[in-house]
């Protein structure tokens, strides 16, 4: 059995799944904050030197999954693991957001595509030399049927 401890709560202007951006690329103007529980505050030391951070969180509003799913960016059913659909065997999501500032146990961010009240599992620094591979192939997404910048969540992954 794998167990994760919630280390904080993500706050955003997105109060519901429907209508929220589906990726940070479509959330550039949205600001939010990450409220890290006080017992983890010391772990935020030195984080403010990074421009971006990776938020790892629980898709707490999702239940169940299907191994074939119709993603937001396409009308064709795809294998679940070739998508970033929220209904997954393990309800883990990731978003890379811009770090604006750290104040005590609060991290202010921009480019947030996460629903308000989402449980935070972990934070990692985004390191371009480690994490960026801009010339990589992106499978079916390269066909560009829809744009993540303009796509918004609909009801397809609601309970």
Domain range summary for the chain, segments of one domain joined by + = 9-128
**Mean of all residue pLDDT scores within the chain:** 88
Q: What is the pLDDT of residue 156?
A: 61
pLDDT value of position 105: 98
Distance CA 129, CA 135 (A): 13
Fold of 9-128: Elongation Factor Tu (Ef-tu); domain 3 (2.40.30)
Confidence at residue 157, expressed as pLDDT on a 0 to 100 scale: 57
Exposed/middle/buried for 56, CB within 10 Å: 0-12, 13-18, 19+? Answer: middle
pLDDT surpassing 60 at residue 80? yes
- Least confident piece of the model among 2-6, 45-49, 53-57: 2-6
How many whole angstroms separate alpha carbon 6 and alpha carbon 38? 12
Of 91, 74, 79, 95, the residue nearest 145 (C-alpha)? 74
């Amino acid at each position: 059995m794998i167990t994760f401890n919630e280390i904080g709560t993500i706050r955003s202007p997105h109060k519901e799944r429907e209508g929220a951006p589906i990726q940070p690329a479509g959330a550039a103007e949205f600001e939010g904050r990450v409220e890290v529980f006080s017992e983890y505050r010391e772990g935020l030391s030195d984080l403010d030197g990074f421009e971006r951070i990776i938020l790892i969180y629980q898709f707490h509003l999702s239940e169940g999954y299907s191994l074939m799913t119709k993603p937001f960016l396409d009308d064709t059913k795809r294998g679940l693991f070739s998508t970033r659909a929220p209904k997954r065997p393990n309800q883990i999501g990731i978003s890379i957001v811009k770090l604006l500032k750290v104040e005590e146990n609060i991290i202010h961010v921009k480019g947030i595509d996460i629903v308000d009240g989402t449980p935070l599992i972990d934070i990692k620094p985004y390191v371009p030399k480690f994490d960026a591979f801009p010339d990589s192939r992106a499978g079916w997404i390269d066909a560009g049927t829809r744009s993540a910048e303009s796509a918004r969540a609909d009801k397809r992954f609601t309970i």
